[in-house]
Structure 1
Amino acid sequence: MSSAQQPSASKTFLPLALAILTVSDTRTPATDKSGDKIAELAGLAGHRIAARRIVADDTESLRAQLRDWIADPVIDVIIATGGTGVTGRDVTPEALAPLISKPIPGFGELFRMLSYQEIGTSTIQSRAEAAICDGTIVFLLPGSTGGVRLGMEAIIVPQLDNRHRPCNLSELLPRIRHEH
């Protein structure tokens, strides 16, 4: 991290309430390594896990869960893992699409740029993205623990830290919510 990206020591950290959604037909709470990685890294950063679920790769079921959490005033951020690839069962972006108020295209662009450094051209298969949905920030990450680690450590954790400079999504949340 460059000095411009270091958290400001003059501000007090403000924890956020996160919901973790694992998208999978096969994972269980005992085998959900990617969901565990999100919970671990978010917890280490100081955030609170307000909800966590595993939902099958089904557009309507995913959309219903996302809609419920977006409507929940307790949840600030949703982080989903899985269903962002290019196969027929990968439907997480499609489930989210009608719920988006404002896309955040820079997240997917940056994620794939950083991912390219680790997995090369295979990164084109990722449809990782982020958006604002009625005042809630939503991130869609790949199902792999490597992709989750990269997205969380390099982008999401810094952007959810209100002390991160020069700017961050956390400090914008009150303004984003006021607009909705």
Structure 2
Amino acid sequence: MHEHERFGPERVRFGIVVVSDAVYEGRREDVSGKLAKKIITESGHEVTYFSLIPNDKGAILNVLEEAKESPVDVIVFVGGTGLGPNDLTVDVVDRVADKEVPGFGELFRYITFQKRGSIAILTRAGLWVYSKLLILVTPGSPDAVETALQLFLPVARHAVAEARGLRHGMPKGV
């Protein structure tokens, strides 16, 4: 166990938000959100929030505001990382976040490049801190969700401790 993990929660509480017009409207089944939930719970953490929303700035902002007030440590947005006009998740999160954690996106794209080649440059996957809440944004494909969570879950407790300032003398519950 890394030193900083001793300050983090035993189990990280995740929220999963699938951002997809097709899934929200029932035109396509949610495969990636369900996969994210399975991977997170099998890793010993818990999912305390799950939502399907359209590619809509207001819907994304509402989820972020709800998450700040809910018992969630990390919100995983699935979808909205591409270059299309409806891919808004990254733009909305980036505008409101306090800090970006660039290493996640860099490694995600590197791993994707190793698997799939230059297509990796077209994703804007990333990690941010917003009001002591971690926000992970991953593309909507099942492979991308699995890659993102395999990359993030080993450092989840440490990341929560860092984002909440727990190793800097702040009380554990803050």
2:119 alignment partner in structure 1: 122
Kindly provide the CA deviation profile for residues 90-122 of structure 1, in whole angstroms up to 9, marking residues without a partner as x.
000112123201110111011001110111000
Deviation of the 1:70 alpha carbon: 2.4
Q: Distance in 2 between matches of 1:98 and 1:36?
A: 28
With normalisation by structure 1, the TM-score equals 0.83
2:34 alignment partner in structure 1: 36
What runs of 5+ residues in structure 1 fail to find an aligned partner? 1-6, 163-167
Match of 2:23 among 20, 27, 34: 27
Give secondary structure in 2 for the equivalent of 1:86: coil
Q: Distance in 2 between matches of 1:120 and 1:37?
A: 24
Deviation of the 1:173 alpha carbon: 4.3
Task: Detail structure 1 runs of 4+ shifted over 3 Å in the superposition.
Answer: none
1:56-75 residue pairs with structure 2 within 5 A? 56-72=54-70, 74-75=71-72
Q: Distance in 2 between matches of 1:68 and 1:125?
A: 30
1:26-105 residue pairs with structure 2 within 5 A? 26-27=22-23, 31-72=29-70, 74-105=71-102
Could you say if the C-alpha distance between residues 61 and 13 of structure 1 is closer, same or farther in structure 2, counting changes exceeding 3 Å? closer
AA at the equivalent of 2:46: R
Number of equivalent positions: 164
Identity %: 24
Stretch deviating more after TM superposition (93-102 or 21-30): 21-30
User: Contact 2:94–2:128 at 8 Å: present in 1 too?
Assistant: no
Give secondary structure in 2 for the equivalent of 1:26: helix
Q: Distance in 1 between matches of 2:19 and 2:68?
A: 17
Q: Distance in 2 between matches of 1:138 and 1:44?
A: 20
Deviation of the 1:157 alpha carbon: 1.0
Q: Distance in 1 between matches of 2:101 and 2:59?
A: 23
Q: Distance in 2 between matches of 1:92 and 1:130?
A: 12
